[in-house]
Amino acid sequence: MGVLYLLDYWLLDEFDSLLEYYCAVSVELFSFSFWTSTALVKPCILFMMFRKRLQNLLSAISSGERFSDDNQRSIQQCSDFLHFIECFVHRHIVTVAKQDGWTVSLGELIADLVTNMSELLTELEPLSVIAAQFDVAPGNTAVHKLSNQIGLLQVHTHWTTVATSYRLIVGLTSVGSSQSNLLAELAERILSFLRLLLDLAAIRFDQVPLSAVSGQYNQLLCNHTSIMELWLLTLQCLSHLANKGYTESFWSIIVGELENYLCHSNAGANSSMRTWDSVTVPSQPVSFCWWALTRVVILLQFDSCGVYHCPKPFSSDPVLSMFIQQLVSRSLQSVGATVESSLLKLHLNCYHSIVMATVLSNESTVLLWEHFYKQFTDPSYLVSRRPLHNPQSVITSSVRQFYTYIKSLCSTDIDSTFPYKDEETFQIFLRIITRVIMSLSMEMQWKYFKGKIFSKFHRKKMIELSSDGLVKFLQLFLVLGHVTDVNEVGKKMITLLNMRNLASANEKSLVVLWRAIFTMLLTYSDAKCCLKDVVDIIVPLISQIVGSLATRSGDGSGVLLWDTVCVILNGIQELLDNSQSFTSGESALFGTYIGELLSHCKGNEIGHVVLFISDVISTISGHYCAINSSTRPTSGLLLESHDVSVEKLQHLESLSELTKSLWECVLPGLRDRVKDPTCIDQLAPLLGNLSDFSLECADLCHPHGNYSSYCELLLEEFAFDDSLPAGLVAVYLSDALSSDIIRAHVMSCDSIQLKVTHAWLRCLVQMNMPPACVDHVRHLTNGIIRLGLIGSIQPIAVNTESMVALKALLEAISSRHSSAATLAEASHWRDCCKHIIGDLGKYIIPLISGSLPSECMKSAYHVSSVAVRCCPKLIYSKVESRCLLPRLLDQLILPLATEKKPLPKGIPLMIRSHLHHFLMGLMQLEPKRDDFIRRKIKQIFLKYFTSYVQRSQPNTLNTCPGSNPFVLFLQPCYKPVVSSEARDALLFTMELVAAHFLTASKDSNLLPVLQYIGDVLEKITNEELIARCSILLLGNMLSCLLACETSTSFCTKPDRLRSQGFCLL
């Protein structure tokens, strides 16, 4: 049947088929037929045939023969013979068990068979040589195959001996046989084979460098499956004998054999002889004992059917505990003090594997704790291979990663081999102490270790901790908090850490300390413990850190403080994300220090704080939406429905408390910081998120005062406040109106829509903002257009340019006012216009004073000119002393300038560009009936008319390009059909020009004035209107021409003046 994996034939279904095969009357062995029942009565002949074929096979290997059919046939015959022996013994043992007896002839037969098997083993190659054949790389494939098959055959021979002994032992002990001599012989044979396997392991242990032992753990002890099966069967035999009381306890046998290696460590490799082989003492006997003992523990995880169970704990044994304690002591004695010992790492890995499978006494773990405790402050112990000046390299970069790492140290889900070969010894020790505490009676174990650990730390010790020792201290307490009473361990840890002053910038490990504190808080959260007591301790410390950050100097301490603040914010966010339901502890974490952070952050720091607040908002919203969207139980489950409602109510109350704390700490900081124009990009999106949050979670918290929601408060304080930067308002409102829920809230109230529209107009006036904010103004314009109130006044297409949209809106309001049927309706539209335009004058004052950039002038003039041109009747009143129109005229068109305070650069150009819009608006106010308006128009003409008409001459240097505003403002008169307002404006203008500029006394300006009149009359197509203008101009023109002929004092050349005059006539 061939030699394959032997355990499969012995333990699994294949053995049943062998029993059937060898239950026939006759059996063929070595090409001869034998009676099945008597074949082994005289076993010498069969064993002689076996030896002959085995010798021929070994000779074939030495002569370099290839694998052939004859060799295969010989191997098969030998294998069949070994299988027959197993089946023969099994059948007779079963017969004995059924008949409850043991005959003398059967006893002699079995004894004879055992003797022949023992003699056969002495003729085989040493087991170490056989095992070495499995490691040889195949050169000539056929030769290697033959060598491999012969090696397996020899292992099969060993296997059959052990398996036969095992079956005999089980059979004899089950029937209570009196064959004590045979049992003693079989027990000694199994013990001898154990020694043989240990010696083989010792040989292989020394063949591999110690640094590679952890990586080749399985291969060293069992380099082939058949060798491992020999180990399994041998341990099963010893365990059975010990359980039946025929030998000392199992662990006494194992420990006794391993102690021999420790005893022979100073006597040489061949100081004594074993039954089958000499003692092979490895160069590192302690390491070998750890390694071999661990493998025995792992092999014991296999049951009698060859199935692996991980872990399969077995009962504790005092002998094993004492031996482990001895090994721990020997291991610690051999560790060097200046380097990370690979020996100790190997030993600790072994110890951990053993602890995972059994319960040991605490003394061994205490020895390890005493060893590692010395490293916390003793400078001679430089255990860590990482840089000691950077303890953050040991603790990972975030609280969540560190917490995950701590959880991994407490995990019991591991492989059976060395899983921690890449970790440092202290981390492996943490895994050991975790497992020891959790193994049995955790409360009792923790009480024992708590005294051993807590008593070691006091104020002096905490101050003396090195950076590496501090990291180890944190890891130790975090691991203990994860597996024991987190409330007790957490308070103790924070109390001890505060002895180093957790709020001092002089503490170089401040970042590490706070990362550990929030890792402990995550442990609290996972354990569903209340955080309130711990949070009450740490929040004042956080406030001190933030206070120190506000007064930081340039000595580098500010960097440390800010890094610490980042860890704190990250820790709070991780804690909120980890919590399934909030308690008063989470709410208490939000103190006034968050507002102080917003007020005092510098540069890019504020972006980190804003991101933290946004993440908190998102977390609270997620919990609130989860509560509202949770499905309700069926109506029949009244008790469950009640329970769910109570749970939801409690969760809502905790969310409400958390939300209240958030608003109370964030709003003061926002009020202090929003006036800083450098923070627009960070604060404006935050305001939008807060507004969204206040409406989505409106049930959680309500503001004080008359505001219905926090969204209304935010709009009032951060969008409608004229003292805030226009860029902030533009970005905030554009983001807010892009949200459906905020836009719906704004559209629910007309007054809010008007205020938002006014804020938009203000942004158009004060365009002194970054390019990104200008883009937000375009988006804001689209948001204004989509408002319900604005759409009802004047539908405007989306993506319309901002100034065009403003002009269309104001024209629509003016039209509604003009067509109002009642006084109340007219008053309504006047108020609507006032709310939208507001007090433009106060935005113009900084412009005139020169405190704003020149780029802002164009926007201010453009918006003001649109307001004056589109709705002059709504911004002017004879009964209001401070109506808007006169102030706009005085500030923008008729500003006062002196030698000491000249007009800012660019103002004259803006006046010329927008003057015609102002004149068009003024002309709508019937200047002939209103003395004030008539006086203002006259002032404008007297101040600008002469200079503008002179610059418009073809032969003069046009320093201000563009059309003459005094020609442009009369554009409505150039149409075929002229309105009465346009006609009156034209006649009023000609009358004014004739009276003040078309006179002989101003002969130097007569030529450009005549040119201006000619340009205007040439554009007019209405002959009646031309005739009416001629009546007003003719007398003054003739007087000027006559004076040109008679007076000798004319400055203007008479010929050009006469020519222009006659041309005009």
237's tokens: 């035999």
pLDDT of residue 816: 92
pLDDT of residue 211: 58
Q: Which stretches of the chain drop beneath a pLDDT of 50?
A: 1-15, 97-98, 100, 102, 104, 136-137, 215-221, 267-277, 337-340, 382-394, 416-418, 631-643, 955-962
Sign (positive or negative) of CA dihedral 375, 380, 386, 392: positive
User: If you write DSSP's letter for every residue of 235-257 in order, what string do you get?
Assistant: HHHHHHHHHTTSSS-HHHHHHHH
223's tokens: 């380099």
- List all residues 6 or more positions away from 345 whose beta carbon is below 8 Å from its beta carbon: 214, 421, 423, 424, 425, 428
How far apart (Å, rounded) are the C-alpha atoms in residues 241 and 599?
79
743's tokens: 């836009």
How far apart (Å, rounded) are the C-alpha atoms in residues 14 and 4?
12
Q: What are phi and psi of 517, to 5 degrees?
A: -60, -45
pLDDT of residue 51: 80
How far apart (Å, rounded) are the C-alpha atoms in residues 963 and 958?
10
β-strands 26-29, 32-35: how paired? antiparallel
59's tokens: 């000779």
The helix/strand/coil state of 314 is: strand
Q: Cis (ω within 30 of 0) for the bond into 318?
A: no
**Region label for 796, one of left (φ > 0), alpha (ψ between -120 and 50) or beta (otherwise):** beta
Q: Which residue has the tokens 């993506």?
A: 799
How far apart (Å, rounded) are the C-alpha atoms in residues 516 and 493?
10
How far apart (Å, rounded) are the C-alpha atoms in residues 50 and 36?
17
Provide the 10 A C-beta neighbour count for residue 638: 10
How far apart (Å, rounded) are the C-alpha atoms in residues 718 and 729?
7
User: If you write DSSP's letter for every residue of 51-78 in order, what string do you get?
Assistant: HHHHHHHHHHHHTTPPP-HHHHHHHHHH
SS3 helix, strand, coil % of the chain, rounded to 5?
Answer: 70, 0, 30
pLDDT of residue 751: 92
pLDDT of residue 144: 58
First-last CA distance in the chain? 135
563's tokens: 């890094």
pLDDT of residue 12: 37
How far apart (Å, rounded) are the C-alpha atoms in residues 142 and 72?
12
How far apart (Å, rounded) are the C-alpha atoms in residues 189 and 238?
11
Element (H, E) at 32: strand 32-35
The helix/strand/coil state of 413 is: coil
pLDDT of residue 742: 92
834's tokens: 């006032």
pTM: 0.73
549's tokens: 């950050």
Per-residue pLDDT tens digits for 151-208: 777 777 777 777 777 777 766 665 555 556 666 777 777 777 777 777 777 777 777 6
